[in-house]
């Protein structure tokens, strides 16, 4: 009987036909080179541009594909992927090359010393070289989040994260994974308050190969601000020390590169 994968990569998609094939291919190449056993799960929101069809035709059963026809949304797609996942660690990332497959090894370097690893634009070595205005606007909002929530994480909007599944499942997932990118603010805050060890590693955002970004900065900034103030009023209890210690004592080794 095949053992469960070490890593599950969750890719939410909506009209990403111009990006998804290259994204999956790049991830497969990167993860095989690391010698880590993995699975890739694509959660597609019934894309109109043939995204799901491309995944099915080109990758078959090497990629787990779910097409949602009654629900849409980034955070809920991630939640479904989390519920389906079998990996000991979960890697959440965008499907449009904003988050680069070449940065994945940098996150995975820390899976034995941290519970939640964040690809961060706002520590030394990170950035958004192709979008300087958006970079500055996002930096200002992150400073606001850090100030209001007293959060040490410097990039609470990254969305490029790797987390221990056993600990993530102890958190209030249905409360965290709602809306759009605000899920990441909730995840950072609740994970920190729950006692998870968080490590930020520098990443530089890439550029999408095609298609249109779904992010509307000013609209989302207003919505996310409401989330921040709501979190400030939310009491979060730490996870039991035994649960955290047991997770910390679990060492992960590479176990072959098959999906």
Helix (H) or strand (E) holding 89: strand 89-92
**pLDDT per position as a tens digit, 122-162:** 999 999 988 888 889 999 999 999 999 999 999 999 999 99
Q: Residues of the chain whose pLDDT is less than 70? A: 1-2, 208-217, 253-259
- CA-wise closest residue to 65 among 3, 1, 12: 12
- Is the CB of residue 181 less than 8 Å from the CB of residue 220? yes
pLDDT of residue 253: 63
Residue 3, pLDDT score:
78
Question: What pLDDT is recorded for position 220?
Answer: 79
State the pLDDT at residue 255.
Answer: 46
Domains of the chain: 7-247 (3.90.550.10)
Tell me how far apart the alpha carbons of residues 118 and 232 are, in angstroms, rounded to a whole number: 21
CA dist 191 to 37, 164, 196, 219, Å?
26, 11, 5, 26
- Give the pLDDT of residue 258: 43
Asked if 167 and 161 touch (Cβ cutoff 8 Å), the reply is: no
176 vs 172: CA distance, rounded Å: 6
Q: 76 — phi, psi (to 5°)?
A: -70, -30
């Amino acid at each position: 009987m095949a053992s469960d994968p070490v890593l599950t990569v969750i890719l939410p998609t909506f009209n990403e036909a111009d990006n998804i094939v290259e994204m999956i291919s790049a991830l497969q190449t990167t993860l095989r080179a690391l010698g880590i056993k993995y699975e890739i799960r694509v959660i597609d929101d019934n894309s109109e541009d043939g995204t799901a069809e491309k995944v099915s035709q080109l990758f078959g059963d090497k990629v787990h594909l779910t097409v949602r026809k009654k629900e849409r949304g980034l955070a809920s797609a991630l939640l479904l992927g989390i519920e389906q996942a079998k990996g000991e660690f979960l890697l959440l990332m965008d499907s449009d090359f904003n988050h680069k497959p070449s940065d994945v090894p940098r996150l995975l370097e820390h899976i034995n010393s941290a519970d939640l690893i964040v690809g961060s634009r706002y520590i030394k070595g990170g950035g958004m070289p192709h979008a300087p205005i958006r970079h500055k606007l996002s930096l200002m909002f992150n400073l606001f989040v850090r100030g209001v929530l007293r959060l040490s994480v410097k990039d609470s909007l990254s969305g490029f994260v790797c987390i221990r599944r056993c600990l993530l499942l102890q958190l209030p997932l249905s409360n965290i994974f709602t809306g759009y990118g605000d899920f990441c603010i909730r995840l950072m805050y609740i994970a920190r308050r729950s006692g998870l060890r968080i490590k930020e590693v520098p990443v530089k955002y890439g550029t999408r190969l095609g298609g249109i970004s779904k992010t509307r900065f000013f609209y989302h900034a207003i919505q996310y601000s409401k989330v921040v103030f709501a979190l400030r009023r939310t009491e979060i209890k730490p996870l039991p020390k035994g649960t955290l210690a047991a997770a910390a004592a679990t060492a992960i080794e590479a176990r072959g590169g098959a999906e």
